[in-house]
């Protein structure tokens, strides 16, 4: 459909009338937004339906990406861009007397994810639609998403994020596609009159799962895929009345992402959430397949289910359940199909993030799934012990020591297991999943993460996009590898000058937002040193904070910093992660001290922007000079903010961890600053004594003392805890061991920043080398190697 400016203006006016019976100027900004979203949705409604029918007609293999989180960011700008209607809408709105930015700012950011995991899922959905891959999202429609973060007296407080209050303009409720999910009760197998073993359920608590679909618009290719989010509701039964408590129990299932799991109730709720979206998702997949197929002979050629991280690992058992109990396939056939259909991505090496569930809780909550996992465990042992020995096999069996182990279940039940960066995959094979790697080496493969350049350049950084279009044409928008053409221009002074201007304007824009939102005035000629990611000890925001204390002390000693700096943080800490919250308080207290001290604040500022999410990242990333990727080597699986920041011309300051290593390979060691121990050094670092470093290293000694001697106000408890974690408890993430090397790297950054010509040359090299980290390529590799689907030309 060709959308002209006239058509858009008319559509907008008509829709305003239809929805609100108002003239445009009477409507609030929020109403103006909803009208705009509704008009834009209309422009892809037909494509959405046609994509579905085309897939059905072609009997195309459908892939379903199961993920407990997605972090899509706002849809409006991205959808307009992908539909190719941005110019028409902008000029149309102008004629109507409306300001796009004000209206677009009214769209709530769907907080359905926490960090890299959810954002990767959304990048994949975007790239898949743009590449014409039939990939569908499957997750939960959390009423309040992840919490909204605020700071009170420097402490993180968690508020409900009521993102659905005014409805979600992009979703479609499909109650005709609802399904029933059983929890608890008793279950046994009984032979029916046809000789089939049927599962009989008794006293179950049933919940209705209602899907809400959101269209995922491909980039100018008429493809619209679907992200399906499930909401829990009470079963409708005219005879039955429910108490408020029962109602609340059901609502709880889809209320928040990651309920506090520091207590039994919270853990139980997480387990229910996992089964809820897994069961509903698989039921709907089987139902869709059954519409056009009489039997399951082709199921594994037509369906792929991707288990993103361990949360959806019950998918293995749920598909077995449906194939056996409802479709009456025998175990072997069902297992064969299941393992061909399932694939699994691991996102972490941290033991704490590899889920396990106590057997009794599991058995009570999802009894039939428990029985099936017991049988998987039994058969796995039976088959593998004679080949690999009992010790190895029990170390990786799905059930052991009273725990159900989700990562092992996912590996055993899948045909493909991948890590998310080369180093991470190697470490999976040699450590965390080594036992299973010995048993199934052929399943393992690497798929380095990626980011969508359309979101992180075209949407987030229009100035840089414009410069790139001018300098190298627009091919990079569809083929990000074409950014390579920018490399030959890295000697061109005019281009570098323009690149510097773009960065500076972006910094000014961010500075204005910081001033308006937080009342902090920052110097836009200072170096913007950025660390934005989940708050976790292994990511070492603390290392960065210690360096800021160092800078502060130097200024207090009368020295001048080589370059003035603005340190920018954004990060949420998990509500029950006490230590991470203490680090937030420390950084905020430091900000308070430094930003208000006239002796230092013209050289140094700290800005901690609350409530990190996609929309805030879209503002920070284009304005960043330095990208802090400073996790302890071997701990960060990949990282993706490193890729986004690189594409926006920030210089990476990094340990040799995760995808940083591949970034270094891509840009060359002259265009990145690395420091710290390597993975091998960390592994062989057997006699670390942080107390000794504290004692002997005068610089570190002095910095650490400020945590406990009152220099930094109002951190009596936090300062002491952090001090103890570093000195007394031997600093689990080797912050002190890497400190000196980090300082040298920071000094190198300061030196480099003084020569702006060289700096922007490095910056341009980074942009030019970033194309290979586009999720378009990552998704192509998943499609070919894991899901075995051909990339179809959507035009056909």
| Segment contacting ligand GFP by CB under 6 A, of 110-118, 334-342, 438-446, 780-788 | 110-118
Applying CB under 6 A, what is the total number of residues that bind ligand GFP?
16
Torsion angle of C-alpha atoms 659, 662, 666, 672, degrees rounded to 10: 70
Eight-class DSSP state of 326:
I
297 CB-contact burial (10 Å; exposed 0-12 / middle 13-18 / buried 19+): exposed
Interaction of residue 419 with ligand GFP, rule CB under 6 A: no
Establish if 655 lies at the interface with ligand GFP (CB under 6 A): no
- The residue within the footprint of ligand GFP, chosen from 35, 420, 647, 735 (CB under 6 A), is 420
Active site residue 640: yes
3-state secondary structure of 385: helix
Q: Indicate the residue among 255 and 636 with the shorter CB distance to ligand GFP.
A: 636
Q: Which of 400, 419, 420 is nearest to 409 (CA)?
A: 400
Q: Shortest Cβ distance from residue 751 to ligand GFP (Å)?
A: 30
Report the SS3 class of residue 455. Answer: helix
Would you say 571 or 667 has its CB closer to ligand GFP? 571
**Active-site pick, 310, 448, 640, 778:** 640
Give the strand order in the sheet containing 403-405.
356-358, 403-405, 399-400
Return the number of the residue (189 or 350) whose C-beta is nearest ligand GFP.
350
CA distance 509 to 619: 8
- Angle between helices 716-727 and 578-595 in degrees, nearest 10: 120
Select the residue interacting with ligand GFP from 575, 639, 676, 771 (CB under 6 A). Answer: 639
498 assigned to active site: no
Alpha helices in 560-689 (DSSP H): 578-595, 614-620, 641-647, 660-667, 679-683
Distance CA 397, CA 412 (A): 9
Number of helices and strands in the chain (H, E): 33, 23
Other C-beta atoms lying within 10 Å of the C-beta of residue 595? 18
Rounded-to-5 percentages of helix, strand, coil across the chain: 55, 15, 30
Nearer to ligand GFP, 384 or 584 (CB): 584
Catalytic residue, from 368, 533, 605, 635: name it.
Answer: 533
Q: Does 636 bind ligand GFP (CB under 6 A)?
A: yes
Binding of ligand GFP by 349 (CB under 6 A): no
Interface pick for ligand GFP out of 108, 116, 259, 794 (rule CB under 6 A): 116
658 binds ligand GFP (CB under 6 A): yes
Whether the Cβ atoms of residue 590 and residue 549 lie closer than 8 Å to each other: yes
Give the closest residue to 276 by CA, choosing from 326, 231, 235: 231
For ligand GFP, the binding residue among 62, 448, 477, 638 (CB under 6 A) is 638
> Per CB under 6 A, does 450 bind ligand GFP?
no
| Of the candidate residues 31, 640, 652, 690, the single one contacting ligand GFP (CB under 6 A) | 640
Binding mask of the shown chain, residues 590 to 619, with x at each position contacting ligand GFP by CB under 6 A: ------------------------------
Has 339 been annotated as catalytic?
no
Kindly indicate which of the ranges 46-54, 101-109, 634-642, 683-691 contains the residues binding ligand GFP, using the contact rule CB under 6 A.
Answer: 634-642
Minimum Å gap between C-beta 642 and ligand GFP is 9
Element at 101 (helix H, strand E): helix 100-104
Interface map 502-541 toward ligand GFP (x if CB under 6 A): -------------------------------xx-------
Which residues in 150-164 are b (16+ Cβ under 10 Å) and which e? Answer: ebeebebebeebebb
Q: Is 148 a catalytic residue?
A: no
Residues that bind ligand GFP (CB under 6 A): 115-117, 120, 347-348, 420, 449, 533-534, 636-640, 658
- Residues involved in catalysis: 347, 533-534, 539, 640, 644
């Amino acid at each position: 459909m060709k959308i002209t400016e006239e058509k858009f203006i008319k559509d907008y006016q008509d829709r305003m009338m239809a929805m609100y019976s108002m003239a445009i100027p009477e409507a609030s900004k929020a109403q103006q937004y909803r009208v705009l979203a509704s008009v834009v949705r209309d422009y892809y409604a037909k494509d959405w339906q046609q994509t579905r029918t085309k897939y059905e007609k072609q009997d195309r293999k459908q892939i379903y990406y199961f993920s407990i989180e997605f972090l899509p960011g706002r849809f409006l700008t991205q959808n307009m861009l992908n539909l190719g209607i941005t110019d028409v809408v902008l000029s149309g709105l102008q004629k109507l007397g409306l300001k796009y930015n004000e209206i677009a700012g009214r769209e709530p950011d769907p907080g359905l994810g926490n960090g890299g995991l959810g954002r990767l899922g959304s990048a994949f959905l975007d790239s898949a639609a743009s590449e014409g891959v039939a990939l569908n999202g499957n997750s939960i429609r959390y009423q309040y998403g992840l919490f909204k973060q605020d700071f009170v007296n420097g402490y993180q407080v968690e508020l409900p994020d009521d993102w659905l209050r005014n409805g979600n303009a992009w979703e479609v409720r499909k109650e005709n596609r609802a399904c029933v999910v059983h929890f608890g009760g008793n279950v046994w197998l009984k032979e029916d009159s046809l000789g089939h073993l049927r599962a009989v359920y008794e006293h179950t608590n049933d919940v209705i799962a209602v899907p809400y679909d959101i269209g995922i618009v491909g980039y100018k290719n008429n493809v619209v895929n679907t992200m399906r989010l499930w909401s829990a509701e009470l079963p409708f039964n005219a005879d039955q009345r429910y108490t408020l408590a029962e109602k609340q129990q059901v609502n709880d299932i889809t209320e928040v992402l990651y309920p506090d799991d520091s207590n039994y109730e919270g853990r139980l709720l997480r387990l229910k959430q996992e089964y809820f979206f897994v069961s509903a998702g698989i039921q709907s997949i089987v139902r869709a397949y059954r519409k056009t197929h009489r039997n399951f002979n082709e199921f594994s050629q037509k369906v792929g289910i991707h288990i993103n991280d361990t949360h959806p690992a019950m998918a293995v058992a749920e598909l077995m359940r449906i194939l056996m109990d409802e479709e009456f396939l025998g175990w072997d056939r069902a297992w064969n199909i299941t393992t061909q259909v399932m694939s699994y991505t691991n996102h972490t090496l941290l033991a704490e993030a590899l889920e396990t569930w106590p057997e009794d809780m599991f058995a009570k909550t999802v009894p039939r799934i428990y029985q099936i996992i017991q049988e998987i465990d039994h058969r796995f042992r039976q088959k593998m012990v004679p080949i690999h020995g009992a010790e190895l096999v029990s170390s990786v069996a799905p059930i052991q020591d009273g725990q159900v182990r989700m990562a092992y279940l996912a590996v055993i039940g899948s045909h493909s297991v991948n890590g998310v960066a080369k180093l991470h995959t190697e470490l999976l094979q040699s450590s965390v999943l080594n036992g299973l790697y010995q048993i199934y080496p052929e399943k393992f493969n690497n798929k380095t993460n990626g980011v969508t350049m359309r979101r992180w350049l075209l949407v987030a950084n229009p100035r840089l996009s414009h410069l790139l279009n001018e300098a190298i044409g627009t091919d990079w928008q569809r083929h990000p590898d074409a950014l390579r053409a920018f490399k030959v221009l890295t000697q061109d002074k005019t281009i570098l000058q323009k690149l510097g201007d773009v960065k500076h304007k972006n910094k000014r824009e961010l500075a204005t937002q910081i001033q308006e939102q937080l009342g902090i005035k920052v110097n836009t000629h200072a170096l913007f040193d950025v660390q934005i990611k989940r708050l976790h000890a292994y990511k070492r925001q603390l290392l960065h904070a210690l360096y800021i204390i160092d800078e502060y002390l130097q200024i207090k000693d009368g020295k001048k910093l080589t370059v003035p700096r603005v340190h920018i943080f954004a990060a949420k800490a998990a509500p029950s992660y006490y230590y991470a919250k203490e680090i937030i308080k420390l950084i905020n207290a430091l900000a308070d001290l430094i930003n208000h001290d006239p002796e230092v604040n013209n050289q140094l500022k700290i800005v901690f922007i609350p409530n990190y999410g996609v929309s805030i990242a879209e503002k920070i990333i284009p304005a960043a000079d330095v990208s802090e990727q400073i996790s302890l080597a071997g701990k960060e699986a990949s990282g993706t903010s490193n890729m986004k920041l690189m594409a926006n011309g920030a210089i990476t300051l990094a340990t040799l961890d995760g995808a940083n290593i591949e970034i270094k390979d891509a840009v060359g060691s002259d265009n990145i600053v690395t420091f710290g121990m390597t993975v091998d050094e960390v592994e062989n670092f057997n006699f670390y004594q942080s107390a000794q470093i504290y004692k002997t290293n005068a610089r570190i000694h002095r910095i650490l003392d400020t945590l406990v001697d009152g220099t930094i106000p109002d951190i009596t408890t936090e300062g002491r805890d952090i001090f103890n974690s570093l000195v007394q408890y031997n600093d689990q993430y080797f912050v002190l061991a890497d400190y000196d090397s980090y300082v040298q790297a920071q000094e190198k950054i300061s030196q480099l920043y003084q020569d702006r010509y060289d700096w922007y040359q490095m910056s341009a090299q980074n942009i030019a080398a970033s194309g290979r980290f586009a999720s378009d390529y990552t998704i192509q590799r998943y499609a070919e190697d894991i899901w075995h689907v051909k990339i179809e030309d959507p035009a056909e």
